[in-house]
Structure 1
């Protein structure tokens, strides 16, 4: 099987990380084209031996990118074109249809109740999304919550396949040496209690709530914000206004493997440096950072996480707490966590449930269904 993955960008983000991890576990030949921003994940993919092309798209309305993408797809003689993220799903599906690709699959990573990838769900955005969806053969939803939203929009249930994100649990195992090294690199005292926030610094992630919570906590508590985005300057200003700027660390865009660690440690090392993962976002499609934190054995305080809600047996892990999106609640739960006796940092049930091997097998089943082939025995794509 030859597959081309089309993605909007390859900077540091959950969908981009997930694509790289998935390609390490899928059989066949897989190439990647990014419409724009060939960032850190592009470098990592190339290190893994994946061929990556940059379409150099100038913006959402750069229609000249469409014939370039169509030629690239046609030349590659791909069996599957798999698109990721809003802009790539639209342009990639059209190009794949024009090139005559038999199997067109998209993954919906970021569809919330009120936004998709940070943009409001206006009537125009929704109409364009649905028009593009009809050009494909199947849409992968990263959670039942996303599948339900697609169904309510009018996407036929037989076209939607629930395939949760996957986590490489061993990679996120707690590492005491990495904890010490990472804390030293970022100026975090060895005895500080460190709250972590992981994700794009955009309004929907609500990281300002954590800054407000930090101002209510003792001086030995620190906040480590992992990621970058347009809200970084505003968050720095909020930290200064709250009098806690010296207690907040912004890592910027983080690398994904030790081999690209010139600018800082990788994501598992950052989780090892934390004592608690806080997720104030009110509108998540899956909650990948929460599951990765659970793989590192971290307790979690969160507002919304479909990945936890969808665990079989409706039993939430005992080391996760759901709270309202308000600073006082995050401050209260942080204070509870920091006064609790230390516990071993072992992977939690949530992380073990969402293995990348299982996710890859289910992706393969979707590809086979999109090509009209008999599914691999034992692979459930629902």
Structure 2
């Protein structure tokens, strides 16, 4: 059990901003929506001239089975520090203490004025202690929460019962307590903000800074035929699909089932890896559409734009679960920036992240998804929406938030 959280009225002296981001994972060792957002934010803050560095959790990336190149790495101009202890404490409490001790040294040495961390609450335990000891404010960014991520991995029919479990209730209580104790809270959507307010977090300190995309995506024009030829894909078929983690809640089973309602010239492309892949391959075979489903696995970040560019439509057929109603994925916005039509489940988070300008179908309805695929048309509305959601705009909001804490 984490120690009690005490809100402090402290503020850092002076007006100089120097921000330290405490992260769970990071590039280049983990490539995910979490690490992509973190890196994009850090790059954009750097571009604005805001002094900012990052530090990853204790013993990362060793704890995920990867060897770091150094305890300090420079990636795209962003400095990442690694907390590499000579020994790894046996208990969670001791690991929190060691993390805090190491970070206090770094904060004082680097003259950090704000510490910024993200869910899950173990990060908040460490960040709040460091802030308290150093007399600086701290920011808690609510991304995917531990209990909701855990819930999303369970079969849908078990989720309602699991919400009443001791683990779920205690983890949720911890997240709420630390959000209430932070000097400021960042939410990724208005939906998330409203939920935090319902949980008792002060509305005045919640700042919505949504997922965004790099401005240069707006200038890219994809030659679909050429890309398909280069990647060995059919040039005369309609190809729809997703660049995603291949997990159950993404609803890729609905995408495969939709093929049974579509002409033979429609194919599905899935870029990514995950635990649901074997079951999806079996579903495709049992449904008689295995020859129309292409799994290409995970691709390097540097090549991802090419895989987006071969699609006639980008699909986000997520199931109607708590996490899917709340979490706003980056991938849909990236597709919009490239001018690719998006077809998504009609869930609040997906409407919000795509601006309500795309095609939406009832979650879990393969026939409705097929109808949307068949009628999809290319427009400029998605690209115009994406132009209002750039990382430089997000960085401006972060800077204003940090200055308000000074």
Query: If the length of structure 1 is used for normalisation, what is the TM-score?
Result: 0.79
Q: SS at 1:110's partner residue?
A: coil
Could you tell me how far apart the structure 1 residues matched to 2:296 and 2:204 are? 42
Deviations 1:338-377 (A, max 9, x none): xx5xx477862220121222111101112122x3x3xxxx
Output one character per residue of 1:222-244: Cα deviation in whole Å (capped at 9) or x when no partner.
Answer: 22223333323332333333233
1:146: how far off?
0.5
Residues 1:88 and 1:295: Cα distance change in structure 2 (over 3 Å): farther
Question: Could you tell me whether the CA contact under 8 Å between 1:103 and 1:367 is conserved in 2?
Answer: no
Deviation at 1:51, TM superposition (A): 2.5
For residue 282 of structure 2, what is the aligned residue in structure 1?
237
Count residues in correspondence. Answer: 351
**Which residue number in structure 2 is paired with residue 351 of structure 1?**
386
Task: Judge which range, 8-17 or 288-297, deviates more.
Answer: 8-17
TM-score normalised to structure 2 length: 0.75
Alignment of 1:286 with 2:328, yes or no, is yes
Quick one: structure 1 residues 133 and 217, their matched pair in 2 at CA, closer, same or farther if it must change by over 3 Å? same
- 1:252-288 superposed Cα distances (whole Å, 9 cap, x missing partner): 333223xxxxxxx22x222111110111123242232
- Find the aligned partners of 2:44 and 2:180 in 1 and give their Cα distance: 28
Q: Which residue of 1 aligns with 2:5?
A: none
Shift of 1:111: 5.5
Contact 1:82 1:104 in 2 (8 A): yes
Name 1:206's counterpart in structure 2: 251
Where do 1:250-265 residues align within 5 Å? 250-257=295-302, 265=303
Give the whole-Å Cα distance in 1 for the aligned partners of 2:382 and 2:292: 28
Deviation at 1:182, TM superposition (A): 4.8
Aligned ranges 1:1-382 → 2 under 5 Å: 1-10=17-26, 11-26=30-45, 27-35=49-57, 36-37=60-61, 46-55=74-83, 62-77=92-107, 78-87=112-121, 89-97=123-131, 99-100=133-134, 102-110=136-144, 115-116=148-149, 118=152, 122-171=168-217, 173-177=219-223, 179-180=224-225, 182-184=227-229, 186-257=231-302, 265-266=303-304, 268-281=305-318, 282=320, 283=324, 284-303=326-345, 304-306=347-349, 308-309=351-352, 316-317=356-357, 319-337=358-376, 343=378, 348-369=383-404, 371=405, 373=406
- In the superposition, relative to structure 1, how do residues 182 and 308 fare at CA in structure 2: closer, same or farther (>3 Å)? same
Q: What runs of 5+ residues in structure 1 fail to find an aligned partner?
A: 258-264, 374-382
User: In the aligned structure 1, how far is the partner of 2:25 from the partner of 2:228?
Assistant: 30
Structure 1 distance, partners of 2:126, 2:292, is: 43
> Compared with structure 1, are the counterparts of its residues 81 and 13 closer, same or farther at alpha carbon in structure 2 (3 Å cutoff)?
same
Distance 2:92 2:179 in 1: 20
Label 1:186 to 1:146 Cα distance change in 2 as closer, same or farther (>3 A). same
Specify the structure having the higher radius of gyration (Cα).
Answer: 2
Across the aligned residues of Structure 1 and Structure 2, the Cα RMSD in angstroms comes to: 3.3
Question: How many angstroms apart in 2 are the aligned matches of 1:156 and 1:48?
Answer: 36
Q: Judging changes above 3 Å, is the alpha-carbon distance between structure 1 residues 116 and 189 closer, same or farther for their aligned structure 2 residues?
A: same
Contact 2:124/2:178, CA 8 A, preserved across alignment: yes
